[in-house]
Structure 1
Amino acid sequence: MTASPSGRRSVALFVIVCVAVWLVPTGIAVAMWSASGLVEHAAVTADGPDLIQVGERVDAEARDAVVDVHLGDAHLVTSGSAGTVTQVLTAAGSVLTNGVPVLAIDDSVIRAYAQDFPLYRPLTRGDRGPDVEALEVFLRDSGFLDVTTIDDVFGAQVDRAVRAFQKDNGHAVDGVFDPGYVAYVGSSFTVAAIDVVPGDRVALDDRIMSGMAPAIKVEIKDPDLNPLPPFSGAPLTLQLADTSVSVEGTSLDGAAATDVATALSGAGVNATALEEGAVMRYANARVSLSEPGAWGTVPSSAVYISDTGARCAVDAEGTVIPLVDSRESTGQPGIMLVHADLVGVRLLSDVAQAPPGSLDACE
């Protein structure tokens, strides 16, 4: 007997249901077995260490700074001659060197004497001594004595130079150099103020002008007035507004202090006077390496610091690498700068992943 179409559909449906009932539990069991296998595999298999490649950076180590210029006593210039001022031949802000005209008294020109050794007596032919040597330097610098060798003897050549000086400056030509021909300004002098005008009568030792107080020390500090951290190289560049000056270190004296003070005073930036004007403070300065150095860069987590302060990193093979020249990056927290030779080397990004005991070699 032939089955009807509806009967065949019923049989097929029954078979599908039976297969489904068998497959679902079996699939769940297989899936659970697979998942448990993965969990077990994860429990016994550790991830490999994370590695980073040392980067590269050129660093000028720029830091904000405050500059304190310590000033000495202002130099006061007095007259070595008596008479009436007929001309003033210099002005505030002028730098006076040997032979620069300062003023005229009774139409005789008085020139700047920019040396430390004084002319304390009239000098004439036949005289000898260190003051004669100083006179020769003055006459040479003033353009009246053409010599290559300076000695301490007032000879014929010096006599001719003195007479030429006297004639050119309106003095009596007698070959005797009088100390009153000059105004003693010292070896470094910038005019701060002129105290006389034409028509004034001056007596011997009357004040005729004053100089700017000389810089005796310059200190470069951080904005909180603490010493700056050491730089990795020299020289340094100090910048204030549009003015830049080269400095050797952050504490300067002598000629170096004078050069920096002169540059800063011409920067067009107002300074704050402290200690009754004995210190001039310039804010908003910046100091950096004149020749920025190349460095490698790594995160701080890649650097191990031992109990003795030694710094090390660990490469991909577990080798400990001493970081002799390393330091923290200026203005970039969390970054360490290492020697440029390490650029491109792969290191552990976290030294905590180093093999046990390996960091004992960091000394």
Structure 2
Amino acid sequence: MRLYSDDELNAVSVRADPMVVLPTTREVRDLQRLNVVLTWEEGAVVRAPGWSGMVTAVSGDPEMEEGRPVLAIDGIDRIARASAEPFYRALASGDRGADVGRLHELLLATGFIDAMPADSEFLSFGTSLAVEQFNASLGLMDSRVFDPGTVIWLPFAPFPVETMEVEVGAPAPAPGSVIATGPATLLSAVLQAQNPAEPISLEPGVPYVLVKGQARLAFDAEMLTLPGEGLAALAALVEPLAEQTDAVIERETPLEVLAVPSTAIVANGDGDLCAWVVDASDDAGYRPVDVTLAGSQAGVTNVATGLGAEEEVLANPSAVLEEWVCP
């Protein structure tokens, strides 16, 4: 026998057990990996003057300095000199020209004359005697003729040496060939997302830094470029003339946040966010607190403000509370 009834059953509301957690303190760095696109100016070069013979010595100095030997050919030192123009011809007593004036400047700078002559563009007998002393200081004896091959012209001084292209025992480099190269100059560095689909994202008003190795470099957050002082520091960390390098950016000062399960954060129709915390004044109650967030990942949300580190948070408010939307 079957029995039937038209009576309606009362609705039963089943609520889940509350899950209460303490927030976890953590630091948010907003770390983002990226590429830095580099633009360089190649280093200045030093070229060989007119000479011949065998290289018998090479200076290991990191810089070429005025009046200092750079190398020796056939036992005769060749010194560095920065001037408006390089020497191009042998000069002897009776010669005249602007290059004679530059020779007098060289002799004055190296201490072989005490003052510039009244007619600085004329090579007098007295100057030829000074040239003889100059030559002897280099190892070239009994000659009153200035040899332009004893002077290596520098575009500027001191000249920092990145690479030296001469070796002891090798033939003297051909006239006009490069014997030394200065360091390349980094002209610009542009920050670029590694994945175009995920552009670089910076929190407004928050200072960030570019991190490469142990260096932390400020950059222009609007243009995503490095300023001059940052370029010099970055250039020392990468291969010269490299087209790009990888790096990361992060907050200059990490943000201290409290991590809670993402399910603990709820919103209302206006977009206001809150979390429900255990109400100490009510043994069985919870109260909402307004919060601001600092990102979330893998089911964990970072709360920047509004929540205390010792406040117990209801992780499943929608399953426990009848009215769980933020007021």
Task: Please report the TM-score for the alignment, with normalisation by the length of structure 1.
Answer: 0.48
CA distance in 2: counterparts of 1:216 and 1:47, whole angstroms: 63
Q: Which amino acid aligns with 2:79?
A: V
Match of 1:149 in 2: none
* Cα distance, 1:263 vs structure 2: 1.9
1:342 and 2:314 matched: no
Match of 2:243 in 1: 279
Alignment of 1:155-170 (within 5 A): 170=138
Match of 2:294 in 1: 327
* Cα distance, 1:110 vs structure 2: 1.4
* Cα distance, 1:248 vs structure 2: 2.4
Alignment of 1:1-363 (within 5 A): 43=12, 50-63=19-32, 65-79=33-47, 82-84=50-52, 87-90=57-60, 96=63, 102-103=70-71, 106-110=76-80, 119-120=83-84, 170=138, 183-184=154-155, 191-192=162-163, 194=165, 199-200=171-172, 203=175, 207-219=178-190, 221=192, 223-224=194-195, 226-230=198-202, 234-235=208-209, 237-239=211-213, 244-249=214-219, 251-265=225-239, 279-282=243-246, 292-304=254-266, 311-316=273-278, 317-323=286-292, 326-329=293-296, 332-339=297-304, 342-350=308-316, 352=318, 353=321, 355=323, 358-359=326-327
Match of 2:92 in 1: none
Query: CA 1:200/1:318 → structure 2, altered by over 3 Å: closer, same or farther?
Result: same
Conserved 8 A contact 1:79-1:202: no
Q: Which amino acid aligns with 2:288?
A: T
Query: CA 1:278/1:356 → structure 2, altered by over 3 Å: closer, same or farther?
Result: closer
The higher relative CO (CA closer than 8 Å, separation ≥ 6) is in: 2
Q: Which amino acid aligns with 1:297?
A: A
Query: CA 1:76/1:347 → structure 2, altered by over 3 Å: closer, same or farther?
Result: same
* Cα distance, 1:279 vs structure 2: 1.0
Q: Which amino acid aligns with 2:172?
A: D
Query: CA 1:228/1:327 → structure 2, altered by over 3 Å: closer, same or farther?
Result: same
* Cα distance, 1:74 vs structure 2: 1.4
Match of 1:148 in 2: none
Match of 1:270 in 2: none
CA distance in 1: counterparts of 2:164 and 2:77, whole angstroms: 22
Conserved 8 A contact 1:81-1:181: yes
**Which structure has the greater CA radius of gyration?**
1
* Cα distance, 1:182 vs structure 2: 5.3
* Cα distance, 1:183 vs structure 2: 1.8
Task: Please report the TM-score for the alignment, with normalisation by the length of structure 2.
Answer: 0.52
SS of corresponding position for 1:72: strand
Root mean square deviation, CA, Å: 5.1
CA distance in 1: counterparts of 2:271 and 2:63, whole angstroms: 54
The structure richer in helix per residue is 1
Query: CA 1:306/1:45 → structure 2, altered by over 3 Å: closer, same or farther?
Result: closer
* Cα distance, 1:301 vs structure 2: 2.3
CA distance in 1: counterparts of 2:177 and 2:316, whole angstroms: 76
Q: Which amino acid aligns with 1:120?
A: A
- Once the two structures are superposed, residues 324-362 of structure 1 have per-residue CA deviations (whole angstroms, 9 ceiling, x without a partner) of xx2224xx4221112376322233424645847744xxx
CA distance in 2: counterparts of 1:292 and 1:349, whole angstroms: 26
Q: Which amino acid aligns with 1:215?
A: L
Conserved 8 A contact 1:195-1:207: no
* Cα distance, 1:78 vs structure 2: 3.4
Query: Percent of counterpart pairs with the same letter?
Result: 17
